[in-house]
Structure 1
Amino acid sequence: MKMQANQIRPGQVLEHQGKRWTVLKIQLIQPGKGGAFIQVEMRDVDSGNKTNERWRTADTVERLEVRERDCQFLYKDDVGFTFMDTETFEQFVMSSDLIGDQAAFLRESMEVTVDLIEGQPVSINLPAQVVLEVVEADAVVKGQTASSSYKPGILENGLKVMIPPFIEAGTRIVVNTAECTYVERAK
């Protein structure tokens, strides 16, 4: 299925140069002069090799049709990440290479969608938002306006995210998993 390059998201599977690639990271770059382009970090599904590609935002790319299965994340060990198909109760392991940066958001019993190509798991799709606790937050700097100032905070999974000044350590917040950004204080 053809789609524009600016619609590429982490976790999607693309066909490029005769190979199947799982998208790991995307970065939209808007230079001061010329048109915007998108830089995509991808991993070859078969060999595990990584590559970076750049496309203009108007370029088209081939997205592979994948079968999605609702699964539950069970645990992580030395072999990889173990998931269970919620329909058939079959368990399977995915390597940390396939999971990539999304591993930081995985919690036991979390419901995810796993993409399969020819029965082989190639990527996962996390929920759009997760609730995490802030374990470390910088002090508020006096004199900054509350509307535009953000401070760095460290989450329970070790990721750093910019949070509003009123968020303190111990507060649970909602985080956007695709962009790793603060959304709101958890209720």
Structure 2
Amino acid sequence: MATTNDLKNGMVLNLEGQLWSVVEFQHVKPGKGPAFVRTKLKGVTNGKVVAKTFNAGLKIETANVDRRDMQYLYNDGTGFVFMDTADYEQITITDDIVGDAANFLLEGQEAIVAMHDGLPLYIDLPTSVVMEITQTDPGLQGDRSSAGTKPATIETGYQIQVPLFLETGTKVKVDTRSGDYLGRVND
């Protein structure tokens, strides 16, 4: 148990049997009336974002969320298999929990898996990953200086927009939150 005065971004609350992550909070002390805390909460399991207001000093139940460093091993057809890097225990995480992170998961890649009571909740990838372009149309002569983009398929099969001058086989840095091209990587 904690009070609303203890709220921090990223803290996970257990409200009415559901887990909510604190995205944003603001302590408000109006000139008239009691103080309160205005929050923006994101549902851990469904991703739904809601605004909720609490009275200052109100006791709220926090959830114990264990964030573990894990390594992605492979997809076995029923889900994604991860290995805990501390004790080498393997778990299978379903497609719906992995979600869009699957677009940027390569075998052997590190990720943080959030667990609650032994059940995986969500996966945190690094903010950017290095991927190789497996297929893209060649850039046309004269297009090399313009700011245009073209579609390119990366190693995982996900399609991103890249500058016209990039070719198949080029390694690029990709933002895992938005899927945006961040730059070319030289080996």
TM superposition score normalised by structure 2 = 0.66
Worse overlay, 84-93 or 150-159:
150-159
Q: Does 1:89 align with 2:60?
A: no
Q: Secondary structure at the match of 2:133?
A: strand
Quote the Cα distance in structure 1 between the aligned partners of 2:101 and 2:87: 24
- Please give the root-mean-square deviation of Cα atoms over the aligned residues, in Å: 3.4
Indicate how the Cα distance of structure 1 residues 67 and 175 shifts in structure 2: closer, same or farther if over 3 A, else same: same
Alignment of 1:59-78 (within 5 A): 66-78=65-77
TM superposition score normalised by structure 1 = 0.66
Q: CA deviation at 1:14?
A: 7.1
Q: Is the 8 A contact 1:2 1:60 kept in 2?
A: no
Count of aligned pairs: 155
Cα shift readout 1:100-157 (whole Å, capped 9, x = no counterpart): 1111211111111111112321111112221211122234356668353222222222
- Which residue does 2:113 correspond to in 1? 114
Q: CA deviation at 1:163?
A: 0.7
Identity of aligned residues (%): 35
Unpaired runs of 5+ residues, structure 1, are 23-37, 45-49
Higher-Rg structure is: 2
Cα shift readout 1:3-62 (whole Å, capped 9, x = no counterpart): 5xxxx9xxx97767642369xxxxxxxxxxxxxxx9x8x673xxxxx5x74658xx7799
Structure 1 residue runs of 4+, over 4 Å off? 12-18, 52-56, 59-65, 141-145
Q: Secondary structure at the match of 1:100?
A: helix
